[in-house]
């Protein structure tokens, strides 16, 4: 994932966890409606002085043979005493609530889906409408998908009733999946996102050299461009092994108009066991270059038109190791429930920043503080029922 424009790690981590919750409604082939199911998730993130946790509930139901409706309720509670907060502000706690509705319509070999998502927190509200269509070709061996999303956000600032601004986001996406052999599936996707409006964090500040300050530097508010365009392409493959296990891999390339470039490599393995168990392991490597207007320490105040010190716009890399397990608790069904699983996943993530320094260390000249890095733990526990 590339750095997002709102910038702070709590918001970025919350977005990751929200995506994990939404992923419970996994993608299906164009010629098949999503299965009737319900998923209840609890997630937790702890790292870099930030804790995030909360529940998510997703329900899907088919009706009239051609339609499938879905609804999702998602909450994350954020407590932040991150390095940005402790060096320039006070720790805080906030809660974000998100609601999503979706509708799928199946006709012959093509599937139309519509979606709407709305989220609220004390200083930010967002709404997104999305539409997508996919169709199977060549004996259902090839699936082509197209999609568009439009988001409109409202930005506020705690303790400042006057400050208000907006963000508009548009996403265009295309995807192609191909069954090459009975064991191998490959996929290609490309997306373009355009953002316009207030794209930085209203609380974040940059630092600049100030010889009159006891620290040797001072702070002033960040200033970002009001537009951003990003492009991303991904290649995925999944190979089913003879003993029912599977390997999956992915490479994702990202670039944007702020000169950020990123590469993501992912490799995973899924292994079923007797007795209804499925084990999972995954490794993910991510690296990115810094935005053109990012600096850890600027030479002077108002050094250039745009200035940022968001560590998520810096040069950094991360490494993620995931282990997970799933157990089928209702293989024979129970009353109206056809099947049920209990799932748990644990991610250990290491972040290393190449040009963002730890200002909690004092007594050294400005710009010579140690580089910052931290470990994060992510836990997801969820139950799924098919009916």
- Please state, for a pLDDT cut of 70, what percent of the chain lies above it: 92
Residue 47, pLDDT above cutoff 80 = yes
Cβ neighbours around 141 below 10 Å, total: 12
pLDDT digits (tens, 9 = 90+) for 199-235: 999 999 999 999 999 999 999 999 999 999 999 999 9
Q: For residue 179, what are the CA distances in angstroms to 16, 123, 140?
A: 29, 46, 9
What is the average pLDDT value for the chain, to the nearest integer?
91
Mean pLDDT of 187-204: 96
pLDDT of 175 reads 97
Residue at token pair 């000249």: 365
Nearest alpha-carbon partner for 169 in 1, 3, 4: 4
Nearest alpha-carbon partner for 262 in 13, 1, 14: 1
Going by pLDDT thresholds of 50, 70 and 90, the confidence category of residue 14 is very low
Mean pLDDT of 358-381: 96
Q: Using an 8 Å Cβ cutoff, are 310 and 201 in contact?
A: yes
Query: Which domains, ranges and CATH numbers included, belong to the chain?
Result: 9-386 (2.40.160.40)
Q: Rounded to an integer, what distance in angstroms lies between the CA atom of residue 69 and that of residue 57?
A: 14
Higher pLDDT, 250 or 122: 250
pLDDT of 21 reads 46
Q: Report DSSP state, residue 199.
A: -
Question: Can you tell me whether residue 19 is helix, strand or coil?
Answer: helix
Q: Determine the distance from the C-alpha atom of residue 188 to the mean position of all C-alpha atoms in its chain, rounded to a whole number.
A: 19
Q: What does pTM read for this prediction?
A: 0.89
Phi and psi, residue 107, nearest 5°: -140, 115
Going by pLDDT thresholds of 50, 70 and 90, the confidence category of residue 9 is very low
């Amino acid at each position: 994932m590339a750095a997002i424009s709102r910038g702070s790690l709590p918001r970025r981590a919350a977005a990751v966890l929200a995506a994990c919750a939404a992923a419970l409604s996994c993608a299906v082939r164009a010629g098949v409606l999503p299965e009737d199911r319900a998923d209840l998730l609890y997630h937790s993130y702890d790292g870099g002085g930030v804790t995030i946790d909360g529940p998510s509930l997703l329900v899907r139901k088919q009706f009239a043979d051609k339609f499938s409706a879905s609804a999702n309720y998602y909450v994350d509670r954020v407590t932040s005493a991150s390095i940005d907060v402790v060096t320039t502000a006070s720790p805080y706690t906030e809660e974000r609530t998100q609601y999503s509705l979706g509708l799928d319509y199946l006709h012959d070999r093509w599937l139309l889906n519509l979606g709407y998502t709305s989220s609220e927190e004390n200083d930010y509200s967002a709404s997104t409408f999305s539409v997508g269509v996919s169709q199977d070709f060549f004996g259902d061996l090839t699936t082509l998908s197209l999609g568009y999303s439009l988001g409109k956000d409202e930005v506020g600032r705690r303790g400042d009733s006057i400050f208000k601004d907006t963000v508009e986001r548009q996403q265009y996406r295309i995807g192609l999946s191909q069954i090459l052999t009975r064991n191998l599936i490959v996929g290609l996707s490309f997306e373009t996102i355009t953002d316009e409006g207030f794209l930085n964090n209203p609380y974040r500040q940059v630092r600049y050299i100030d010889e009159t300050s006891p620290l040797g530097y001072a702070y002033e508010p960040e200033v970002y461009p009001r537009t951003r365009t990003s492009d991303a392409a991904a290649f995925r493959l999944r190979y089913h092994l003879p003993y029912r296990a599977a390997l999956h891999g992915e490479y994702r390339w990202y670039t944007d108009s702020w000169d950020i470039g990123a590469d993501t490599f992912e490799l995973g393995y899924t292994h079923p066991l007797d007795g209804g168990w499925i084990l999972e392991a995954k490794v993910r490597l991510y690296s990115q270059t810094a935005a053109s207007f990012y600096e850890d320490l600027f030479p002077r105040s108002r050094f250039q038109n745009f200035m940022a010190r968001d560590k998520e716009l810096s040069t950094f890399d991360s490494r993620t190791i995931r282990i997970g397990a799933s157990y089928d608790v209702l293989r024979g069904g129970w009353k109206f429930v056809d099947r049920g699983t209990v799932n748990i996943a644990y991610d250990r993530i290491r972040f290393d920043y190449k040009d963002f320094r730890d200002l909690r260390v004092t007594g050294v000249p400005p710009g010579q503080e140690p580089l910052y890095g931290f470990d994060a733990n992510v836990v997801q526990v969820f139950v799924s029922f098919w009916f």
